[in-house]
Amino acid sequence: MDFELSDEQRLLRDTIRSFVDTEIRPVAREWEAAGRYPDEIVATMSALGLFGLLVPEEYGGMSADMVSLAVVFEEISRGWMGVAGILGSHTLSTWMIAEYGTPEQRRAYLPDLATGARRTGIGLTEPGAGSDLQSIATTARRDGDSYVVSGRKTWITNARHADPLPVLVKTDPAATPRHAGMSILLVEQGTPGFEVVRDLPKLGYRGPETCELVLDEARVPAASLLGGVEGRGLQQALSALEKGRINVAARAVGVAQEAYDQALRYAGQREAFGQPISGFQAVQMKLADMAIKVQAARLLTYWAASRADAGGRADLESGLAKVYASEAAQECALTAMQVHGGYGYSKEFTVERLYRDTPLMVIGEGTNDILRTVIARALIAGRGAIG
């Protein structure tokens, strides 16, 4: 049992850490507060090949293992979790196209997606359907060589940049069971009837755009059906979300680590009653608790990633990692604010942003309450063993 990163993974970590320290940290507070899209950071991520993390090498990608993916998302999130979001939805979608797309779809999209010349996201959530994806109302009616798509999607990251955007639809709304009538269409930018109608205001997770979009009788070529076979959309989406939960868990580890680092640094600098506050047992207990949660979350996330690399289902492992890491990040961010005292509530200190960013990871990519039921069902069905 080896708990160490490989030489290649350490080199990747050090490369991303240097990038974060030189290009993300110096601008994160100012750009996040202004709601500024980080075009320059995106350009460097493209140059580093990060948009091709899970794209096969034959299409110009890195074919990275899932532990390496976790390392990348952890390091970027230590600097600015919102930037990791730009890469997150894109990576999830490229994996889905590589895994399920037809040969023609892979050739058409993956080379440009690998370089960042194209970017993508995923259109699942609707105003009336979040955790219960089988309740989506967006329909796609076959009409000759096209589908006519109508519906509304919301909370879509990268919506203004996605080309194509995989969109979950109902190709047979009357199907029983409901998932048998669900498919994914690859909707290209500029498709008539496809419009991003607004950017949603958010507490945190600033940097990437998060949008609401409308498909109003949008005509999408039948060749854009992911995999070329109807009725497989929910399976395709859920498989991608399994990978997505590892990236969210890794983002949470990065935020938790940064919260701990900020608290440890401040505790050594701030003095009260004639000594650094790190000398007080109450502060020491907080730092110790944070360190325990950070490292436990990291090991759980890397374990889930390694299980995904081994092949087969990893819904139990990714669910465990996402739930624990996201809640650990939320707890560490709050504790870091407490260590900072009144300064922790100030926008001039990083911990305020960390505190605002953590709720998304508890809610996103499957709420933690829903994931607890997924974990329990996997255990009851004997799909995973604990202990």
Give the contacts of 1 (CB within 8 A, at least 6 positions apart). none
Catalytic residue among 74, 230, 317, 365: 365
Phi, psi of 141 (to 5 degrees): -95, 125
Q: Is 365 a catalytic residue?
A: yes
CA distance linking residue 41 with residue 153, whole number of Å:
27
The answer to whether residues 101 and 109 touch, using CB atoms and an 8 Å cutoff, is: yes
Active site residue ranges = 365
